[in-house]
Amino acid sequence: MGTVDADINAVEVVEKREGLAIDDFIVALPEGTPPDVLVTACTGVAEVQLLWLSYYPESWGLHADIDLLDEMTADPRRAAATLTHAVPQAFHATWAVLVDRDSRKVVEASELAPDLTPHALDAFGALTEPGSRELPADWLPGLADTLVAIAPLRDSTSIVVGRHGGPEFMTSEVARLRHLAALAG
């Protein structure tokens, strides 16, 4: 990354397994440097794969989960709604919905969440266990290549976080979502 003058602002170890590490780097590129320069630099290193590249707003840093928890505890009755609206940015995802498992209805949705019919909600499965999955290509017209992470809250709701086009949700991300959901309600 240094060969393209990328300034590393933060590194987070997302997941570690034997012989493999997945890290999340937050970098600043010099003004006018296109992101594909960074992609070329990273993929040119032996045994390195670039899984995902996206814009990361300056206002969202490593303390985001703590700030989110502060906001959730400031108004505990709205903690689940607060989580639903904040989690797409915290997880570099596209959207999130809070679903009532009993009625199979969306009770809260983030800004970019699709309108979900009961049939579309069926693609998520039971919603009673934390996990992640890739949705079938026909789950909702126009939204192929959708990956979701799911975490139940203590009440009868579950949060579903969606990404279009990847990357898949890591085990550590699902665990993090599960913890936040447990604290939200």
109-159 pLDDT, tens digit each: 999 999 998 889 999 998 999 999 999 988 998 888 899 999 999 999 999
61-69 contacts at long range (C-beta below 8 A, 24 or more positions apart): 61/10, 61/26, 62/10, 62/12, 64/89, 64/90, 65/90, 65/176, 65/180, 68/180, 69/180, 69/183
Give pLDDT tens digits for 21-66: 988 888 888 988 888 899 999 999 999 998 878 766 555 555 677 8
* Domain assignment of residue 87, given as a range: 64-184
Of the candidates 160, 183, 171, the one whose C-alpha atom is nearest the C-alpha of residue 88 is 160
Q: Look at residue 53 and tell me if it is in a domain.
A: no
Task: Tell me the residue type at 13.
Answer: V
Q: Are residues 100 and 30 located together in one domain of the fold? A: no
Q: Supply φ then ψ for residue 90, to 5 degrees.
A: -65, -30
Do the domain assignments include residue 51?
A: no
Domain count, the chain: 2
Q: Are 97 and 104 in contact (CB under 8 A)?
A: no
Name the pTM for this structure. Answer: 0.74
Residue 56 falls inside a structural domain: no
Same domain for 92 and 176, yes or no, is yes
CA distances from 34 to 41, 49, 122, 133, 140 (A): 12, 19, 40, 32, 33
Q: Looking at the domain assignment, is residue 69 inside a domain?
A: yes
